[in-house]
Structure 1
Amino acid sequence: MATMMAPVEQREVLRCDHCSLVQFRTANSLCRRCHKSLEVEEPEPAAAPLSIVTQSTASSDGLQVATAVRELRQVRNLSQRQLAARMNVPRTYISKIENGKAMPTLSSLDRLAKALQVDISTLLRDPKTRQRDETAVLMNDPFLAEIAAYVSELDALQRSIFLNHVRELAAGRRRTA
């Protein structure tokens, strides 16, 4: 006799900044103990003078930062939630940045860069320059340059196995065969 299991709903776990109570997100987003807001205030971007930055360059710069954040987060195998936890901000703030709906302040850019383990300038570069610079840094290492020559000759399955093995080594786990 087969039984049907109801799907388990994923609920967000938060820590109150005021009383440090760890709890599920409430419907009203208030702490169960101290009744203060669980939402972290998202910094409002400072308005730039129109004579320096036009609307079109501001929106293209915003997309540049959004693209950089998304690409760097994905390259580092981080979810939005994990990146948000590293920055100590809500996941929705990361989503807004990646979708170009919020432009981070300079202090947020600094925290974002530290969480992604890059320079702030990396977040502000165009994608082609950013990728070329990251590749150049990797190719300066003679060991990585030697591996790169062989990795290009592997098929998809071999490449996947190789990368998984490297991830395990980087994480400090040893294979038992």
Structure 2
Amino acid sequence: MFRALFLVVAIALPCSASADSTRLPQSCVPGADPEQRQRCDDAVSRQLNSSSQSTPLDGGWRLVKTRNPNGGADIVAIMRTADTTRSDLNLAGLSLRCAEFGTEVMLTLLEQQPRASHPKVTLAAGSDRVQLEASVNQSAESIVLPPSASALAAGPWQTFPELTVEIATTPTPTRGTIPLAGLANAMRALRSSCALR
């Protein structure tokens, strides 16, 4: 549950939000003991329930709508947590959210990355493999993929069961697998919600 809660917090905040506004409680750290993780889950749940609405979708996807703390349109996104049995702890999951022009694709990490960095991200779905140069958002916890990733999510990724990811994070790469079942329906729900914001 920790990864799912962290992913919701990371995608629910706008890129312009200050880093302080995205901070999780101190008990929310990788490697925390079970009691700390429970306190983290409880604290994040309270935080999210006050400003967000989350709807489960097919295949483990979630549609998350959050009031924009800066005013303006709500923040709307779909998210899918990484397969915990085949992913490094650092990879929380994949999210796609409404952007000014189309959809923004992000990979959320548990460990902050240097904000000025542009990590190389290798994505593979079936035999299709692509390497992209990404950027790090202001919270330093999400890797923002270039617009070409939106085209992949809207098309080819919907025909594969999973996406394998390798991010050139420091000091060691982050690797993992994200299930893609249900992505087509989740994308339809996102597009409908984006149009209604």
Q: Higher helix proportion, which one?
A: 1
Question: More strand per residue: 1 or 2?
Answer: 2
What TM-score, normalized by structure 2, do the two folds share?
0.24
Give the structure with higher Rg (CA).
1
If the length of structure 1 is used for normalisation, what is the TM-score? Answer: 0.26
